[in-house]
Amino acid sequence: MRPAVFLDRDGTLIEDVGYLDAIERLVLFPWTVDTVRALNRAGLPVVVITNQSGVARGYFTEQFVDDTHREIAARLAAGGARIDAYYHCPHHPDGHVSPYARDCDCRKPACGLIDRAARDLNLDVSRSFVVGDKWIDVGLARAAGAHGILVRTGTGAAEIRRRPDLTADAIVDNLAAAASWILERLRSGDRVIGDRRSPI
């Protein structure tokens, strides 16, 4: 089994524009293509794990989520990069669109999507990394037994100010810095040991 890099989408891979409900509002960060390509070249599967409660709230459909991921894939491919798989949770207990308005086991920080990806792609989650701009992404890493990295893009800087008492295996400026941190540790063979207090 292989380690992987699990990426949050909005605020980590692409700019967070609120509820992304039109392809025209989709903006990759300037470093996204190069960073994903570097992870690809290192032989690491790159997997998107994203909460998309806008489906449950009626802001957009699951088809639109899939269309958005196809657009991201096309833009990455133009630069020689790829995401190996996309997984999204469309649920929220406060939603109003049936059957999405419910509790589930796939909304981060629950592990349902990572568990599914691990089965589908034969991944070793204990050697994997979760990168995101919210403490729930670090919480997902903790719950799954992976290593959690918080980025300051998106809501990351505000998350740090809101809960400065919480910790991650690393807190870095952006996805490019997260990838550098991951690759350096894999090259050196370091064991990544962080504070395992749950951030949620």
Task: Classify residue 125: in a domain, yes or no.
Answer: no
Catalytic residues: 8, 10
Please report which residue ranges of the chain form alpha helices under DSSP H.
Answer: 32-41, 54-57, 62-78, 112-121, 135-144, 156-162, 175-188
Task: Classify residue 31: in a domain, yes or no.
Answer: yes
Q: Would strands 170-172 and 129-132 be described as parallel, antiparallel, or unpaired?
A: unpaired
Task: State the Cα torsion 160-29-69-185 to the nearest 10°.
Answer: -60
CATH number of the domain where residue 67 is located: 3.40.50.1000
Output the pLDDT for position 62: 97
Angle value at C-alpha 37, between 87 and 113, nearest 5 degrees: 15
Output the pLDDT for position 93: 96
Task: Classify residue 133: in a domain, yes or no.
Answer: no
pLDDT band at 90 (very low <50, low <70, confident <90, very high): very high
pLDDT digits (tens, 9 = 90+) for 39-57: 999 999 999 999 999 999 9
For 107, phi then psi, to 5°, come to -75, 120
Task: Classify residue 194: in a domain, yes or no.
Answer: no
Asked if the model's pLDDT at residue 131 lies above 70, the reply is: yes
For 92, phi then psi, to 5°, come to -165, 135
pLDDT band at 195 (very low <50, low <70, confident <90, very high): very low
- Mean pLDDT across the stretch 5-17? 99
